[in-house]
């Protein structure tokens, strides 16, 4: 037996109307569960796939970095045998026809690390909300390392974020690509001790 609905007038509270009200209430219950999930979703507590979805909402997907940026040798020369030539700093290929540069490949190991991405998204949310400010630049730079300075270059009228330690090619590439896309004048230039 379907209970009378408390939302309808007594003269309209028959079984058909009550069944309709119950069906609508069930639909709202499903929506309430989704609303509760989204309300409690947080950058701090999100799992990997949830965090990547938050990044989609903010507008900053988890960055993929070209293969090789994890290591110190960022020039890839395909699968041919390579040796390191310390005089010129590049790999040489042992072939009489020379080597071919390989295409830049992306693999899952080249994602920004999840911990850094979690901190980075907070900075991106700040940046999206308030624009390129010293506070948003500070927030994003702090996600990579706490050992940096932000300086103003009088000659070029650019902002320089100067890391006092090696943050790695991967993180340097991520920051450079980000600020090239969002800051045109003044530019935000990233420098790191290598």
**Percent of the chain scored above 70 by pLDDT?**
70
For residue 50, give every residue at least 6 positions away whose Cβ sits within 8 Å of its Cβ, in sequence order, or none.
41
Gap between the Cα atoms of 102 and 29, Å rounded: 54
Backbone angles phi, psi at 122, to 5 degrees: -65, -40
pLDDT of residue 71: 54
pLDDT of residue 151: 92
DSSP class per residue in 147-177: -EEEEEETTTTEEEEEESS--HHHHHHHHHH
Annotate 113-125 with b (16+ C-beta within 10 A) or e (fewer).
eeebbbbbbbbbb
pLDDT of residue 183: 79
Backbone angles phi, psi at 127, to 5 degrees: -65, -45
The stretch 37-52 carries a mean pLDDT of 89
Nearest to 175 by CA among 140, 124, 130: 140
Residues, the chain, total?
A: 194
pLDDT of residue 150: 93
Gap between the Cα atoms of 63 and 106, Å rounded: 10
Residue 4 has pLDDT above 70, yes or no: no
Residue with tokens 């110190």: 72
Residue with tokens 């309430």: 32
Whether the model clears a pTM of 0.95, i.e. scores above it, the answer is: no
Read off the pLDDT band of 67 (50, 70, 90): low
Query: Which pLDDT tens digit goes with each residue over 116-175?
Result: 888 888 888 888 888 888 888 998 998 888 999 999 999 989 999 999 998 887 788 888
Query: Which pLDDT tens digit goes with each residue over 75-110?
Result: 444 444 444 444 444 444 444 444 444 444 444 457
């Amino acid at each position: 037996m379907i209970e009378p609905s408390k939302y309808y007038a007594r003269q309209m509270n028959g079984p058909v109307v009550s069944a309709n009200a119950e069906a609508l209430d069930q639909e709202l219950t499903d929506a309430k569960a989704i609303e509760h999930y989204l309300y409690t979703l947080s950058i701090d507590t999100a799992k990997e796939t949830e965090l990547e979805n938050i990044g989609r909402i903010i507008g900053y997907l988890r960055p993929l970095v070209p293969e090789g940026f994890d290591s110190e040798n960022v020039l890839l020369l395909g699968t041919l045998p390579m040796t390191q030539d310390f005089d010129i700093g590049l790999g040489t290929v042992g072939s009489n026809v020379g080597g071919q540069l390989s295409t830049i490949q992306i693999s899952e190991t080249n994602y920004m690390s999840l911990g850094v991405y979690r901190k980075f998204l907070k900075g991106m949310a700040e940046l999206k909300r308030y624009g390129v400010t010293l506070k948003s630049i500070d927030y994003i730079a702090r996600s990579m390392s706490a050992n940096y300075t932000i300086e103003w270059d009088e000659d070029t009228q650019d902002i320089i974020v100067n890391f006092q330690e090696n943050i790695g090619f991967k993180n340097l590439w991520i920051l450079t690509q980000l600020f090239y896309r969002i800051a045109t004048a003044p530019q935000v230039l990233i420098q790191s001790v290598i």
